[in-house]
Amino acid sequence: MPAIDQVTDSVFRDTITRAVHDVFKTMFSLPAVLIDQPEPPAPETGDPEQRVLIDGQLVVGTVGFIGDISGLIYLYMSAGFANHLSGHLLGMSPEELDEAGDEVVNDAVGEITNMTVGTFKNQLCDQGFSCKLTIPSILRGSNFSIAPITSATRRIYRFQIAEHVLVADLLMKQGD
Amino acid sequence: MRYKILTVDDSKTVRIIVKKAFKTYDCEIIEAANGVEGLATAAKENPDVILLDVTMPVMDGVEMLTKLKSDPALKAIPVIMLTAEGGRDNVLKIAKIGVRDYIVKPFKEDLLVEKVGRIIDLKPISEGDHAKTKSIFDPATILVVEDKPAILQQIQEGIKHTPWKIAGVTATGEAIDYCSKTPPDLIVVSLSLPDDAAFTLFRLLRTNVKTKYTPIFGLVVKTDLAVQQQAQQVGFSAIVTKPIEVQDLEAKIAKAMNLDTSQRYFATADNIFIMRLPENTSPAALVEVANYLKPKTAEAVDSGIYRAVIDLHELKRFDMTIIKLLFNTMQVFRELALQYVLVGNAQIVTECKGFEDTKGWQFFDSLDDAKTHLAKGAPALASAT
């Protein structure tokens, strides 16, 4: 099994890009395009959370993976995009979705995150990093950011999907 | 007996997607949110197939699968894993416990239906007990697989008066693509496509869950009896011969799609029941009218109608078979105490005078005149003995 620090940034980038693309192409017939990554801000002045932010109400899905490689992936999207995706998945109109409430959207976003992280980690499994998925959880709110623990390596990728933006925030830690 | 599919997934979203995928098939979807519920439901409902997630709270899919396979009463139930948990080693490990198939999320609903269709005989809902009978006035799509544009044009031209949409493709590959995107209501395949392609296509369509029960017609030159026989032997629903007789094709399509054709001959307008015979009333049409006559008349009487018109103004052919049907119609009307009158054209009126039994019949020139007459509450003009 290769060591985690031997896996290059480009492998992580390609792996998450393929995962997001596969999920959105298969489930929604929407292409997902990785937006050019801005230069990471200098540590002493930079604010990495700025690269995550999406305006307005946010829905964030998170699923972890545990094993030879452990980590968490957060998928950030606007509440509007979350509703749009949920309606498509469930075959529900915006009115039906409103009536059904946030729980239904949360569950759909949880499943989208589960599929995306699953596709990501399955590629890592095939490269020798055996790991298993955790159960999805959801955060909702606005103007919040998630600060990782210091031992985790953080990588942030932004994707353009139709007129919406999806942010994948990868936090990786070497397994025990 | 309806097939039962048990979906075991903690995500309600996935369970809804599963329901959506099978909504056009005659089967029942049962749900469970974790392995414990899944085992209990499997024992109670005895499903025909189980769709099983891996990562779930309370009891995960691997544990449920292990318990299921060690239970003599449940171990024969086929299981398809439907999970985001992929990766070669994981799949192999789970497959060893005993699964029929493995679908890694994300997945297309079509793929799910196809894999389940390999285990149970999925029938479209229209084949089931709750089907609403389609009529000849309902839209339908007919796929014609024919490499000769002139033939396709003839078919399009011939049935352009119907609400049926004709989609033409020239090769079997295109036909398969078309069917996987939008399964048609009926398929017509030229049996003269090169390399026996029509027979290969037939086999492929019959193994696809979406077209397994779709009527498939073979299109062949009238004199090519050997190919006609071969097509009948492999199970083509009907043979249409070239040159194409449009009426024959239309009748075969209606029959194969089990369409209600009664509206061609029976209608209700202004609280009056109308039985009409079209211009070219063929022997097959007479049989159809005779079959619908009693139930349709009873239906009209049941809804409170007590007046009727026998409308022959379009009719161009008049012979003993038609006379027999008309006598039968009048008899049914009288039994149900319907007042009725006749509408005819000049030719029919003249021909009626030439037969002993019909020379006393009197006709109105138009449906409007007949309706006006009936509205006045006048007695029946026609009599039959």
Contact assessment for residue B146 and residue B170, using Cβ atoms and an 8 Å cutoff: yes
Rg (CA), chain A: 16
- Give yes or no for B306 touching A (CB within 8 A): no
pLDDT, one tens digit per residue, over B311-331 is: 999 998 888 899 999 999 999
Taking a C-beta distance cutoff of 8 angstroms, is the pair B168, B152 a contact?
yes
Would B134 be classed as within a structural domain?
no
Q: Can you give the pLDDT at residue B297?
A: 95
Position A40 scores a pLDDT of 53
State the smallest CA–CA distance between residue B52 and chain A in angstroms.
Answer: 15
Same domain, B274 and B363: yes
Q: B345-380 pLDDT, tens per residue?
A: 999 999 888 888 888 899 999 999 998 888 876 554
What pLDDT does residue B31 have? 96
Task: Pick the last residue of a domain from B73, B98, B125.
Answer: B125
Which residues of A are less than 8 Å from B16 in CB distance? 89-91
- Residues B244 and B300 both lie in one domain: no
Cβ–Cβ gap A111/B16 under 8 Å: no
Q: What is the mean predicted confidence (pLDDT) over A22-45? A: 77
Does the structure show a pLDDT above 60 at B237? yes
The tokens for B175 are 């036909």
pLDDT number for residue A10? 84
- Nearest CA distance, B30 vs chain A (angstrom): 17
Q: Of A91, A108, A133, which has the smallest distance from its Cβ to B84's Cβ?
A: A133
Nearest alpha-carbon partner for B272 in B236, B310, B219: B310
Rounded to the nearest angstrom, the minimum Cα separation between A4 and chain B is 18
What are the DSSP E strand ranges found in chain B?
3-8, 27-32, 49-52, 79-83, 101-104, 140-145, 164-169, 186-190, 216-221, 238-242, 266-269, 272-276, 307-311, 339-343, 363-364
The residue ranges of every structural domain in chain A are 4-38+54-174
In CATH, what number is assigned to the domain containing residue B331? 3.30.750.24
- Chain B residues within 8 A of A128 when measuring between CB atoms: none
Find the closest chain A residue to B85 by CA distance: A118
Residues A23-27 have a mean pLDDT of 95
Same domain, B14 and B95: yes
In this structure, the number of other CB atoms found within 10 A of the CB of residue B368 comes to: 11
B135: amino acid identity, one letter: S
A15–chain B nearest CA distance, Å: 14
Task: Give me the percent of chain A exceeding a pLDDT of 90.
Answer: 55
Instruction: State the best of A62, A113, A115, A116 to mutate against chain B, taking most chain B CBs within 10 Å.
Output: A115
Question: Which residues of chain B make contact with A97, given a CB cutoff of 8 A?
Answer: none
- On whether both B11 and B114 belong to a single domain, the answer is yes
Q: Which carries the bigger pLDDT value, residue A26 or residue A39?
A: A26
Same domain for B349 and B242:
no
A4-38+54-174: CATH class = alpha beta
Question: Is B103:A26 a contact under the CB 8 Å cutoff?
Answer: no
Residue B96 lies in a domain: yes
Burial label for A168, CB within 10 Å (0-12, 13-18, 19+), is buried
Nearest CB neighbour to B85, from listed A26, A91, A118? A118
User: Nearest CA to B215 among B243, B240, B242, B245?
Assistant: B240
Q: Tell me how close the Cα of A72 comes to any Cα of chain B, in angstroms.
A: 15
Residue B80 and residue B102 in contact, taking contact as beta carbons nearer than 8 Å: yes
- pLDDT band at A52; cut points 50, 70, 90: low
- What tokens appear for B78 in the block? 């086929």
Does B161 reside within a domain? yes
- Which of A26, A108, A135 comes nearest B106 by C-beta? A26
Which pLDDT score, from 0 to 100, does residue B379 have? 53
Tell me if A104 sits within 8 A of A138, measured CB to CB: no
Q: Answer yes or no: do B87 and A121 touch at CB < 8 A.
A: yes
Considering CB atoms only, which of B17, B57, B88 is closest to A126?
B88
Q: Are B5 and B30 in contact, with CB atoms under 8 Å apart? A: yes
Domain assignment of residue B380, yes or no? no
B187 beta partners = B143, B216
- A136 vs B contacts (CB less than 8 Å): 11
pLDDT tens digits for range B83-130: 999 988 889 999 999 999 999 999 999 899 999 999 999 888 764 444
Contact of B30 with B6, CB cutoff 8 Å: yes
Q: Residue B321: count other Cβ atoms within 10 Å of its Cβ.
A: 13
The CB density around residue A95, as the number of other CB atoms within 10 Å, is 9
Look at residue B131 and tell me if it is in a domain: no
**Alpha-carbon torsion (B361, B362, B363, B369), positive or negative:** negative
Q: What are the tens digits of pLDDT across the range A78-90?
A: 999 999 999 999 9
Range A171-175 average pLDDT: 72
Asked whether the predicted pLDDT for residue A111 surpasses 80, the reply is yes
- Verify that B301 and B343 share a domain, yes or no: yes
Q: Which chain A residues are Cβ-neighbours of B107 within 8 angstroms?
A: 26
Q: Report the pLDDT averaged over residues A91-109.
A: 91
d(Cα A173, Cα A153) in Å, to the nearest integer? Answer: 7
Peptide bond before residue B106 is cis, with ω within 30 degrees of 0: yes
> In terms of residues, how long is chain A?
176
**B60 has a pLDDT exceeding 50:** yes
Q: Which pLDDT tens digit goes with each residue over B253-309?
A: 998 998 988 988 999 998 999 999 988 788 888 988 999 999 999 999 999 999 999
The answer to whether residue A8 scores a pLDDT higher than 60 is yes
Q: Please give the pLDDT value at position B384.
A: 43
Mean pLDDT on B234-246: 92
pLDDT for the residue numbered A1? 59
Pick among B18, B22, B54, B55 to test the A interface (most A CBs inside 10 A): B55
Q: Which residues of B touch A135 (CB under 8 A)?
A: 10, 55-57
Q: What is the CATH number of the domain that holds B233?
A: 3.40.50.2300
ipTM for the predicted complex comes to 0.87
Most confident segment among B74-78, B133-137, B349-353: B74-78
Q: Describe the strand order of the beta sheet including B363-364 as a list of residue ranges.
A: B266-269, B272-276, B307-311, B339-343, B363-364
Per-residue pLDDT, A33: 93
Contact pairs from chain A to chain B, CB under 8 Å: 77
Q: How far is CA A154 from each of CA A18, A157, B143, B203, B207, rounded to the nearest angstrom?
A: 18, 10, 54, 53, 49
The answer to whether position B41 is within a domain reads: yes
Q: Are residues B269 and B246 in the same domain?
A: no
* Helix segments in A29-143, DSSP class H: 79-90, 94-100, 102-126
- Helix (H/G/I), strand (E/B), else coil: A27: helix
The predicted pLDDT at position B128 comes to 46
Lowest-confidence region among A61-75, B123-137, B343-357: B123-137
Question: Total domain count for chain B?
Answer: 3
Q: Select from B125, B160, B178 the last residue of a domain.
A: B125
The verdict on B49 and B157 lying in the same domain is no
Q: Are residues B17 and B82 in the same domain?
A: yes
pLDDT for A23? 96
pLDDT in tens, B165-218: 999 999 999 999 999 888 999 999 999 999 899 999 999 999 888 898 899 999
Instruction: Return the pLDDT at A48.
Output: 55
Q: For residue B203, is it within any domain?
A: yes
Residue B252 shares a structural domain with residue B271: no
Dihedral sign, Cα of residue B203, residue B205, residue B209, residue B215: negative
Q: What's the token pair of residue B197?
A: 């392609």
Picking from B199, B234, B256, the residue at the C-terminal end of a domain is: B256
- Which residue, among B35, B7, B14, B12, has the nearest Cα to B97 in the 3D structure? B35
Q: CB of B87 within 8 Å of any CB in chain A?
A: yes
Residue B165: domain span: 140-256
Buried/exposed code over B180-215 (b: 16+ C-beta within 10 A; e: otherwise)? eeebbbbbbbbbbbeeebbbebbeebeebbbbbebb
Cα B34 from Cα A12, distance rounded (Å): 32
A107, B57: Cβ pair inside 8 Å? no
User: Can you give the pLDDT at residue A45?
Assistant: 44
Residue type for position B94:
I
Write the burial class of residue B229 (CB in 10 Å: 0-12 exposed, 13-18 middle, 19+ buried).
exposed
* Domain contains B225: yes
Q: Are residues B322 and B216 in the same domain?
A: no
Q: What is the C-alpha separation between B109 and B19, in angstroms, rounded? A: 10
Cα separation of A83 and A159, whole Å? 18
Spell out which chain A residues touch chain B, with contact meaning CB-CB distance below 8 angstroms: 22-23, 26-27, 86, 89-91, 104, 107-108, 110-111, 114-115, 117-119, 121-122, 124-126, 130, 132-136
pLDDT at A38: 56
User: Which DSSP string do the residues of B102-163 spell out, in sequence order?
Assistant: EEESS--HHHHHHHHHTTS---BGGGSTTPPPPBTTS-EEEEEE-S-HHHHHHHHHHTTTSS
Same domain assignment for residues B217 and B324? no
Residue A44 is predicted with a pLDDT of 46
User: A167 with A158: CB under 8 angstroms?
Assistant: yes
Query: Looking up tokens 């030229």, which residue turns up?
Result: B190
Cα–Cα separations (whole angstroms), residue B374 to A104, B226, B327, B343, B358? 60, 57, 20, 12, 21
Task: Say whether pLDDT at B228 is over 80.
Answer: yes
SS3 B1: coil
